[in-house]
Amino acid sequence: MIFAANLKCNHTRESFKSYADALNKALKNKDEEIFVFPPNVAFLKEDLKFTQGTQNFYPCFKGAFTGEIGKEHLDEFGIKCVLIGHSERRILDNEALIKAKFDFAKEQNYTIFFCIGEDLKTKNLGNSKDFLKKQLEAIDLNYEKLIIAYEPIYSIGTGISADKEDISDILETLSVLTKAKLLYGGSVNENNIKEIQTIKHCSGVLIGSAALKIENFIKLIKG
């Protein structure tokens, strides 16, 4: 089972060091796959019992790209895992840039967490599946290090998770399109995580606010 934490614009290097130390200690005998995506300024150069990933990057090695982070910067921290397509990034990144990020990450043999999700209007119109399929059109669904995270926009940061039946239906559809591991994200918390984990084709969860405090994330992992 995959447990991934997206810390978004939270934590400093100092606070993430405490977070990582506590997580390392808790994971001493755990077999699950654990991923954490801290802010870029909080990356650590330490031995970690979990995979550290980046929430964002620019598809370049380095260069005249003001304010961006390239492969050279990720290499300094040994980072080979990237998050692409999160709805909070899609507000800023167009489809061409998302595809460029995916293609670059694939060339570098990175593990890619690719996020897809629809808003409530799309869901209510019954267009969820077509919308999600369109978000996947430009990427290689056969890439061996691809992990797809289904995160309905109406559930992110709202405290309202999608219905189990809706999640199951979407993951069933995605399982026909790809052999990639499928995750669910969107207001995952201690009240719903066990039910989500029982859904067919669900290989794990991508957790946001419920993972900001390390004691909560550890509790979710331990079940």
Distances (CA, A) of 60 to 46, 65, 100, 116: 24, 9, 10, 23
* Structural domain boundaries in the chain: 2-222
Q: Identify whether 72 is a catalytic site residue.
A: no
The two structure tokens encoding residue 82? 């990237």
Q: Which of 11, 86, 88, 118 is catalytic?
A: 86
Q: Identify whether 11 is a catalytic site residue.
A: no
pLDDT at 29: 66
- Average pLDDT (151-169) is 88
Q: Which of 151, 165, 201, 215 is catalytic?
A: 151
Digit-coded pLDDT (tens) for 35-87: 999 999 999 999 999 999 999 999 999 999 999 999 999 999 999 999 999 99
Q: What is the pTM of this model?
A: 0.96
pLDDT at 32: 80
Digit-coded pLDDT (tens) for 120-152: 999 999 999 999 999 999 999 999 999 999 999
The C-alpha R_g of the chain, in whole angstroms, comes to 17
Band of pLDDT at residue 30, cut at 50, 70 and 90:
low
How many other C-beta atoms can be found within 10 angstroms of the C-beta atom of residue 152?
28
- Please report how the helices 13-26 and 214-222 are oriented relative to each other, as an axis angle in degrees rounded to 10: 30
Q: What is the mean pLDDT of the chain?
A: 96
Digit-coded pLDDT (tens) for 167-198: 999 999 999 999 999 999 999 999 999 999 99
- Average pLDDT (14-27) is 97
Q: What is the CATH number of domain 2-222?
A: 3.20.20.70
